[in-house]
Structure 1
Amino acid sequence: MGRPIKTTEEHIKDGTYRKDRHANRGVTLDALEEVSVPDGLSRDAKEKWLEIVPVLQKNGLVTAVDIPTLTDAFIAYGAAQDCLNAVLSNFSSIAEYWAQLNKFKDVDLIAKYNESMDIYKRTMEKYGVTPASRAKIKIQPKQEDEADNFIKALRGNG
């Protein structure tokens, strides 16, 4: 793995800044303070959203441009759960489902489940939801300004 890319500020501080190479490096997006559950998610997907997304949001990992990606991931999660629930409600086990599956006429719900969960897992890895991917994400602590400190002092929490 190569060395991490320096920010424009680091190049200026080190004296290595070149406008032709380092200007407009990266776009800074502000994290969302509040993230609501998107319309159209299944019950299972809403529950999972409320379990994961507020934690990501609290750590500053959710911006406005992340919402469509996260929504698609949770739609895939909901579809996966729907497939699994359909199999388990109609058969006593997955083995029984496999034994009775006519692959030429029926939709393979387990394959659809695996496909949907793969989409969900790959997206969640990008947000550090798995232990292995969490180690790769650097979270900068939220910097408090004077107004935050003043409000905390007024509340007695400072």
Structure 2
Amino acid sequence: MKSIEQHKADGTYRKDRHKNKIDQSGFRVNEIPGCEDLPERAQDFFTELAALQIKSGQLTEVDIPALKILATSYSDYFDAVETLDIEGLIVGDDSPKLHPMNQVKKDAREFIFKLLREFGMTPTSRTRIISTDNIPQTAEEDDLTKLRKR
């Protein structure tokens, strides 16, 4: 679903349709939020992702919990990789089977990419994001509106 800002940028904003939508521009985050409750690796990743999202003008207060979950999943993925490096892919002598951390690694990787897409951090998902930096604040500032009045 498009934000109000995206509708305005696309020229599809209609006051009668979009008046009940919440404009999230007031919820924008301008500095990296605290993440001391996360594991150390997750803190580093969270800080990096938050900085990227803030720079692009996309991070809002309501995104922070999901971003923390993404960072934690990232940490879980690398914990699983390290465990597999140490313990090997196969466990059990009598009846060998795949190490359970293989599934943890696979699930974490899938979840990470799902959330990366949600945050517009993959090449294809990024094409759907419109920067809010150049969105006119009023209809009078919009060149297309001026052209239509001629």
The question of whether the paired residues in 2 share the 8 Å contact of 1:33 and 1:57 is answered with: yes
1:57 and 1:80 map into 2 onto residues whose CA distance is 25
Question: 2:127 maps to which residue?
Answer: 135
TM-score, structure 1 as length reference = 0.65
1:78 and 1:47 map into 2 onto residues whose CA distance is 10
Question: 1:119 maps to which residue?
Answer: 111
Letter in 2 for 1:27: D
SS class of match (2:24) = coil
The one of 17, 23, 40 aligned to 2:37: 40
The verdict on how the C-alpha distance between 1:36 and 1:25 changes in structure 2, with shifts beyond 3 A counting, is: closer
The question of whether the paired residues in 1 share the 8 Å contact of 2:29 and 2:60 is answered with: yes
The question of whether the paired residues in 1 share the 8 Å contact of 2:70 and 2:112 is answered with: yes
Question: 1:58 maps to which residue?
Answer: 55
Return 5+ residue gaps in structure 1 as ranges: 92-96, 144-158
Runs of 4+ with >3 A deviation: 100-103
Q: Which structure has the greater CA radius of gyration?
A: 1
Letter in 1 for 2:19: A
Cα shift readout 1:57-113 (whole Å, capped 9, x = no counterpart): 11111111000011011111111111111111233xxxxx23x3544xx86101101
Matching of residues 8-157 of structure 1 within 5 Å: 17-18=15-16, 21-30=17-26, 31-91=28-88, 97-98=89-90, 100=91, 102-103=96-97, 108-141=100-133
Cα shift readout 1:3-34 (whole Å, capped 9, x = no counterpart): xx845xx678xxx754xx44323432431111
2:65 and 2:25 map into 1 onto residues whose CA distance is 15
The question of whether the paired residues in 2 share the 8 Å contact of 1:37 and 1:49 is answered with: no
Letter in 2 for 1:60: G
> What is the CA distance between 1:49 and its match in structure 2?
2.1
Question: 1:147 maps to which residue?
Answer: none
Letter in 1 for 2:112: Y
Query: How many pairs align?
Result: 125
Letter in 1 for 2:87: N
- Paired-residue identity, %: 19
1:134 and 1:27 map into 2 onto residues whose CA distance is 20
Greater relative contact order structure (CA < 8 Å, 6+ sep): 2
Cα shift readout 1:105-132 (whole Å, capped 9, x = no counterpart): x861011011012112111111121111
The question of whether the paired residues in 1 share the 8 Å contact of 2:36 and 2:43 is answered with: no
